[in-house]
Amino acid sequence: MPIPDTSTPARPVATSLGDGPQREISSHVYPGAMIRILIADDHAVVRAGIRQFIAGHDDMSVVGEAATGAEVLDCIRKEELDVVVLDISMPGRSGVDTLRSLKRVRPKLPVLILSGFAENLYAVNLLRAGAAGYVSKEAAATQLVAAIRAVAQGRKYISPAVAQLLADGLSIKDQDQPVHNQLSQREFQVFCKLAKGEGVSKIAEELFLSVKTVSTYRGRILEKMGMKTNADLTYYAIKNELIN
């Protein structure tokens, strides 16, 4: 959970990541207007901590909380929101799946990822999938506030560490990058499910795909990552802290 401090927050960086949904995001909130926020995290203490800190800012208001992906999707249909602060590790429907579903329902609603995972593991893939920003739970609370304000105004928020990852992705060879960064958005989604031990049939049902299509994705994933079995994927994911 972010820890309040008095240091200067990281500067929001406006950037473009391609032709995906993120380019459709418009400025939802004018500077000085109230920012309506949904906090989505499966830990009540984390939600309470974020809510308490946000309460100290006159331009922000928490209008909803969610502990599961299903609750997030229900809330965005009912509430008028400006920003969703979303944890990627939640029970049932993961934050990654929730992000994709959310962007289908509310493509212009900015989603700020708040994650306990290191930025180099998830940030780039989630930004490509439509997230408006990525903040580590280890970051200062002032950085979270800066990120919320940035994405509420239609900008991207990336920390200096993520900016460097994006720059490196443009300038260095693939073999110097984590192997999973070679995967497409959908392949990465299937990879995470395979690594957690989910079967092809279950994945097909959850993603509304055919079993044959998921099997094809599995083959591509194994080929791109140079692996032979699902056990190899699980070992890689655990070693790289992509799953708990």
Of 45-54, 64-73, 164-173, the poorest mean pLDDT is in 164-173
Token pair, residue 237, equals 């994911």
- In the chain, where are the structural domains located? 21-168, 174-239
Measure the CA–CA gap between 72 and 70, rounded to whole angstroms. Answer: 5
Measure the CA–CA gap between 201 and 87, rounded to whole angstroms. Answer: 26
pTM: 0.62
Q: What is the CATH number of domain 21-168?
A: 3.40.50.2300
- The tens digit of pLDDT for each residue in 146-178 reads 999 999 999 989 877 777 766 665 444 444 567
Q: Which CATH number fits domain 174-239: 1.10.3720.10, 1.10.10.10, 1.10.238.10, 3.90.76.10?
A: 1.10.10.10
- Which pLDDT score, from 0 to 100, does residue 8 have? 41
Give Cβ neighbours of residue 233 (< 8 Å, ≥ 6 apart).
191, 194, 195, 221, 222, 225, 227
- Which pLDDT score, from 0 to 100, does residue 243 have? 76
Q: Is the pLDDT of residue 130 over 50?
A: yes
- Which pLDDT score, from 0 to 100, does residue 36 have? 96
